[in-house]
Chain A
């Protein structure tokens, strides 16, 4: 029982971590909270549902379709809503936040009009495959989700620290102007960041659809809120913090559902935000200097 709950918690936590990664990448480079990230994730989930359910495509193709669609969305998000605000005089630091809120309600209500309000089931035989070890049942999907999240995390860390593009990205994150003077194509790097973050969100969307077998236009908001809670918990703009924070939130939510009042599981994220802001505002892995008063 406990072991099964632990596995469920780790699965949920891995999904949260993947979503938080998208937030943390954009925040790390641009210093912007991308409020539309949850909705991009939701679009990814709907692409998964339509391609596998309506069109009958295989699962791997659904992943590619979701990545393509969310990457395009990410590109449009950067070109239309974020770039016009960058470097403009007299624009308050809240402008990108408000602008991405606009994108988020636009996307949510568009999919509400297109797909309807209800939950859509995710029809794939893949999510039925399970392994029995003694009394414990593990679904293959759970393993896949965990592996994908670990791979994404390792891949991202290596990419950021070892490759040329990753180094350029970190330079841009550190100081946009200096990086630009030193010959980094910052425009391209920023587009790359937003597109990668959105694609990660799309992957998370398909994974969530598989794991919970239901997709709805409202899921973007609650998932987005949890992603935000995690990056505050783990430290803004910190890849490791996103993973650990995601696992903490996933495990504590699963434990509350199993041994407490399941109705309040959505409240945990918020309580975490308040506690962490009181005790350690820079987050578990954040450094004090860089995160203060951003």
Chain B
């Protein structure tokens, strides 16, 4: 009797945790974390990129068109999308990065607008402002694949659509962890130290023999790659995209994730994307005034706490507390 009750309760809890709505929000948070990192990496070398929405769009459209028209597997499409975005990053980055960060900000802002204009006007390929529909969905493809191996979602007691959303969430989670691992590893490497020295003072870095243009292009291109990757994943998670998804507002939103959370440390980007994606979901009335609030947040942050909510000092306090109790 008790055992049966417990099993029932367990199933109910499982069902609640695997609520597709929560899983979807979780997936959006993960995509946004990826986007926030795409701004964080260039910013860690002192370059402000406002083109993340544009790169995201390039990744999304490339992958969507390849999978729609050439029947390529989604994985190939996503990789191609990220690569095309990063090639574009190199092309735009080299002329802009020879100069100061201000030029890059303007050039990337312009780039984002042009990409949107091309999406709207290249009717034969992109279906104009209506956008692309029926893009192969990542979750369904995984389900097909799992079925091919003789696996059924009912075998572990979940429904098909729960499995779809869960698999998307897990794939995104693995990717985000991999990206975080890569960025953290890079920060502690020669490249990372070169980037932070450029951020501190590019002239001093140059006089120390660091090829600043090369490293700036590297960090900017990485940002473009991550944005393209996030865009391609976005296309295959949602299933439909339109130019409006990749407008200037999206770029500003992504910038706010990083600037709000903290642009000095990578935890800041993760926190910013997490908090600001969740906030409009939890507080429904906020979502209508979201951009107004974003604007106020940016102005206040720059005046009061330009490094964002989480900075190195805050992290030090946590580390100190932890090391007190732990083994040292």
Q: Do A and B come from one complex?
A: yes
Within the assembled complex, what's the spacing in Å between the Cα atoms of A269 and B109?
Answer: 11
Provide 14 A-B residue pairs closer than 8 Å at the C-beta atoms, listed in order of the A residue: A80-B299, A81-B302, A95-B306, A99-B303, A102-B295, A102-B296, A102-B298, A105-B298, A228-B110, A232-B106, A263-B121, A278-B95, A292-B99, A293-B202
- Asked whether, in the complex, the Cβ of A232 is within 8 Å of the Cβ of B103, the reply is yes
| Contact flag A109-B291 (CB < 8 Å), given A263-B121, A270-B114 | yes
- Asked whether, in the complex, the Cβ of B298 is within 8 Å of the Cβ of A99, the reply is yes
A116-157 to B contact mask, C-beta < 8 Å, 1/0: 000000000000000000000000000000000000000000
Interface status of B294 (Cβ within 8 A of chain A): yes
Chain B proximity of A102: nearest CB distance (Å) = 3
Interface status of A163 (Cβ within 8 A of chain B): no
Residues of B near A106 (CB, < 8 A) are 291-292, 294-296, 299
Chain B interface residue count, Cβ-Cβ cutoff 8 angstroms: 44
Chain B proximity of A28: nearest CB distance (Å) = 13
Within the assembled complex, what's the spacing in Å between the Cα atoms of A105 and B297?
Answer: 11
Within the assembled complex, what's the spacing in Å between the Cα atoms of A83 and B121?
Answer: 42
Interface status of A164 (Cβ within 8 A of chain B): no
Residues of B near A33 (CB, < 8 A) are 102, 105-106
In-complex Cβ contact of B117 among A103, A107, A266 (8 A): A266
- Asked whether, in the complex, the Cβ of B299 is within 8 Å of the Cβ of A102, the reply is yes
In-complex Cβ contact of B252 among A105, A274, A294 (8 A): A105
Stretch touching chain B among A47-55, A84-92, A197-205: A84-92
Chain A proximity of B114: nearest CB distance (Å) = 4
Residues of B near A92 (CB, < 8 A) are 46, 306
Interface status of A167 (Cβ within 8 A of chain B): no
Which residue on chain A has the smallest CB distance to residue B106? Answer: A228
B28-68 to A contact mask, C-beta < 8 Å, 1/0: 00000000000000010010101000000000000000000
Chain B proximity of A110: nearest CB distance (Å) = 6
- Asked whether, in the complex, the Cβ of B102 is within 8 Å of the Cβ of A264, the reply is no
In-complex Cβ contact of A270 among B110, B121, B294 (8 A): B110
Which residue on chain B has the smallest CB distance to residue A33? Answer: B102
Interface status of A281 (Cβ within 8 A of chain B): yes
- Asked whether, in the complex, the Cβ of B98 is within 8 Å of the Cβ of A267, the reply is no
Chain A proximity of B30: nearest CB distance (Å) = 25
Starting from the known contacts A84-B302, A85-B302, A95-B306, 7 additional A-B residue pairs (CB-CB under 8 Å) come to: A91-B306, A99-B303, A101-B298, A107-B295, A267-B118, A278-B95, A281-B95
Residues of B near A278 (CB, < 8 A) are 95
Residues of B near A99 (CB, < 8 A) are 298-299, 302-303
Residues of A near B249 (CB, < 8 A) are 105
Interface status of A93 (Cβ within 8 A of chain B): yes
In-complex Cβ contact of B48 among A94, A103, A292 (8 A): A94
- Asked whether, in the complex, the Cβ of B306 is within 8 Å of the Cβ of A270, the reply is no
Residues of B near A269 (CB, < 8 A) are 110
Q: Which of A101, A110, A292 has the most CB of B within 10 A?
A: A101
- Asked whether, in the complex, the Cβ of A96 is within 8 Å of the Cβ of B95, the reply is no
- Asked whether, in the complex, the Cβ of B120 is within 8 Å of the Cβ of A263, the reply is yes
Chain B proximity of A269: nearest CB distance (Å) = 6
Interface status of B96 (Cβ within 8 A of chain A): yes
Within the assembled complex, what's the spacing in Å between the Cα atoms of A115 and B249?
Answer: 19
A258-287 to B contact mask, C-beta < 8 Å, 1/0: 000101101101110110011001000000
| Contact flag A94-B46 (CB < 8 Å), given A99-B303, A113-B292 | yes
Within the assembled complex, what's the spacing in Å between the Cα atoms of A232 and B107?
Answer: 10
Residues of A near B121 (CB, < 8 A) are 261, 263-264
